[in-house]
Amino acid sequence: MRVKKGLIDSINLRSENLEGYFIHHKHYSIEVVKSKKVFNPEIWLNTFNKSLTSNIVRACIVHTHLGLTLALKTYSRSQKMQVL
């Protein structure tokens, strides 16, 4: 059997309530960057070096206690699903 080596560039996880997994856990904090009441695109740009697109309805940054930052997005085409 031949073993192949692979590298993972990114992974997308989808669920109806991904934010709920992080919001009540002491090792995670959520920073809302874009919603109906909040709009701070410069924080998103400084964190991920990418601008917020217009098809993102809600955007959050999940901070872990290990120093990792994760992007949590809700797109306009599927507003009941969140993508991590």
Tally helices (H) and strands (E) across the chain.
2, 5
Q: What is the pLDDT of residues 14-60, one digit of tens each?
A: 888 888 888 888 899 999 999 999 999 999 999 999 999 999 999 99
Secondary structure (3-state) at 57? strand
Please tell me the pTM assigned to this model.
0.80
Asked if 58 contacts 78 with a C-beta cutoff of 8 angstroms, the reply is: no
Secondary structure (3-state) at 3? coil
**C-beta neighbour count of 61 within 10 angstroms:** 18
Asked if 23 contacts 82 with a C-beta cutoff of 8 angstroms, the reply is: no
Distance CA 81, CA 32 (A): 16
Give pLDDT, residue 81: 86
Residue that has been written with the tokens 């995670």 in this structure: 28
